């Protein structure tokens, strides 16, 4: 398990075992719009990056979030 998955599980208030790369708005009712905003803020703090508004909107799954971070040079 990665730190990103643990962070997402914490924000979504889910057991880490229930979160994987495919977890997202289409697969989890815990991923609400409010928690999405919280997740973006926590990711920015944890990884020391700033997501653009477009990046934040597109991060609708853990996999996409990981890919956006990778584009910024962050390995998760």
16: which 2 tokens? 């880490």
How many Cβ atoms are within 10 Å of 24's Cβ, its own excluded? Answer: 18
Residue ranges per domain, the chain? 3-71
What pTM was estimated for this model as a whole? 0.93
CATH code of the domain made up of 3-71: 1.10.1200.10
Q: Is the predicted pLDDT of residue 1 greater than 60, yes or no?
A: no
Q: Residue 76 — very low, low, confident or very high, per pLDDT cuts 50/70/90?
A: confident
DSSP class per residue in 2-68: -HHHHHHHHHHT--GGG--TT-BTTT-TT--HHHHHHHHHHHHHHHT----HHHHHH--BHHHHHHH
Residues forming beta bridges with residue 55, ordered by sequence position: none
């Amino acid at each position: 398990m990665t730190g990103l998955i643990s962070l997402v599980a914490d924000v979504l208030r889910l057991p880490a075992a229930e979160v994987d790369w495919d977890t997202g708005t289409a697969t989890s009712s815990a991923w609400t719009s409010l928690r999405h905003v919280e997740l973006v803020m926590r990711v920015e703090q944890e990884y020391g990056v700033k997501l653009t508004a477009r990046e934040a909107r597109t991060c609708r799954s853990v996999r996409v979030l990981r890919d956006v971070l990778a584009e910024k040079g962050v390995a998760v």
